[in-house]
Structure 1
């Protein structure tokens, strides 16, 4: 039985994060072990050469990884760690972070994430990849889900 929260609940969780509101992040997909987070790229999110700041890419990966894990393991999760590899400078109008569960265990969920920028025509360019381990805190396995 799939009793994970739906897209609207996940959007409310994202909206409850002040930093995500500041960045203007939005969830465009959620469920079945995957999540997609997007944000419009504006000058404040770029570094001095006009590329997407690495911290913005890491933020997007962190949240997408955790939401993907949440679609498989429930809402009470914490990021245990993540790695990110920057493949090329991010340029474009929109940042898209698409994450999916690789393996969901009782205490840890491993996910991976592709981070792409989209130009005004919607063409995606992969600029980074990330992998994360999401912890299911003790006492929440199956509880409150």
Structure 2
């Protein structure tokens, strides 16, 4: 079996484009698992003051992609084919935590689950649950430096 993608690969992916601008932080990566965090900012909330559903979805998508990519051979990357998010409670904490795990890898398709928690100084509350289907693609030459 080929060597898996190292955590530095996911960090390079996370730093580029939207995810870097949004402030997604990688907390931990192990093969098949990823935990990401996002600190609350005024530009990330909706009119009630909770994290916006699009922000929650984007964080879950990135966590799922990194979890799947971490379980792929070097030079492969997981890209989203389908994503479903169930919003379970208002995300009213000062930070979001997304914990993703590969549920099943089969050929070039992987399915990941993600639990998203709203965290404050006192507790962590489950606010969303996600399933994401990812396709393993070859990373284009020079795409990540």
TM-score (norm 2): 0.88
Classify 1:138/1:125 alpha carbon distance in 2 versus 1 (closer, same or farther; 3 Å): same
For the 8 Å contact 2:77–2:139, the answer to whether it is kept is no
Indicate whether 1:111 and 2:78 are aligned: no
Counterpart for residue 62 of structure 2: 63
Give, in whole Å, the separation in 2 of the partners of 1:35 and 1:2. 20
Alpha-carbon shift at residue 27 of structure 1 (Å): 0.7
Runs ≥4 residues deviating over 6 A: none
Give, in whole Å, the separation in 2 of the partners of 1:127 and 1:43. 19
Aligned length in residues:
138
Give, in whole Å, the separation in 2 of the partners of 1:138 and 1:9. 14
The within-5 A match list for 1:1-145 is 3-16=3-16, 18-74=17-73, 75-121=76-122, 123-137=123-137
TM-score (norm 1): 0.88
Cα RMSD over matched residues? 1.9
Gap regions ≥5 residues in structure 2: 141-145
Cα deviation 1:34-57 (Å, max 9, x = unaligned): 001111011111000011100000
Counterpart for residue 143 of structure 2: none
Gap regions ≥5 residues in structure 1: 141-145
